[in-house]
A = this chain, B = another copy of it.
Amino acid sequence: METRRKGPVGRPRGFDADEALERAMRVFWKQGYEGASLTDLTSAMGITRTSMYAAFGNKEDLFRKALARYEEGPAAYVARALREPTAREVATAFLNGAVRTSTRPGCPPGCLGVQGSLAAGDPGLPVRNLLADWRNEGVTRLGDRFRQAVDDGDLPPDSDPVGLARYLMTVANGIAVQAAGGATQEDLQRVADMALRGWPPA
């Protein structure tokens, strides 16, 4: 006979973990991993250090969860772009999404995958490597999609799918850097348009 629980025993948590994670994500996005102190994070989340550690583990765990949330939220344009029917539409949707997410009003400029950590001392290396892997995985996914496009015939047979993928990711990363320096959405949309002027014809 198995013990059945109607709900978790004990006092339930008094805050919305999803909302707290959203707030934490924005602090990391704005200030980077090392630049975001636990005090910054917990005061934005509206909870105490104790609650944060109980709910999310530690600072690095919190960042990993914030990155996962970022991927499903602000960075969902990547997955959407990959589902576009042609290589050109994939590329266009990807860069336009990067522009919009990097310059969205009410959100920090740039991209969590770039601003989160680019260079760091020893204590920040795990997160730095996590983000480098995250960006490289994006290249891989785009590259797979473009290999498919070559098979489909909407990219020339002599195309370099991974090269095209890295090119787009490079431009998207640059857009994030430029957004951090104050470039506007119009500025960066022009950049995205220029970046596609040399795109291989179908």
A2 to chain B, nearest CB (A): 48
Interface residues of A in 158-202 (CB under 8 A from B): 160, 163-164, 166-167, 169-178, 180-183, 187-188, 190-191, 194-199
Q: Which of A119, A135, A195, A196 has the most CB of B within 10 A?
A: A119
Name the residue of chain B whose CB is nearest to the CB of A30.
B119
Interface size on A, residues (CB 8 A): 51
A40 CB within 8 Å of chain B: yes
A84 CB within 8 Å of chain B: no
A97 CB within 8 Å of chain B: no
Residues of chain A at the chain B interface (Cβ within 8 Å):
29-32, 34-37, 40, 108, 110, 114-116, 118-121, 124, 132, 135-136, 160, 163-164, 166-167, 169-178, 180-183, 187-188, 190-191, 194-199
Besides A116-B119, A135-B178, 15 other A-B contacts (C-beta < 8 A): A40-B121, A115-B118, A119-B180, A132-B182, A163-B187, A164-B194, A167-B194, A170-B171, A170-B175, A171-B171, A171-B174, A172-B174, A173-B177, A174-B174, A197-B198
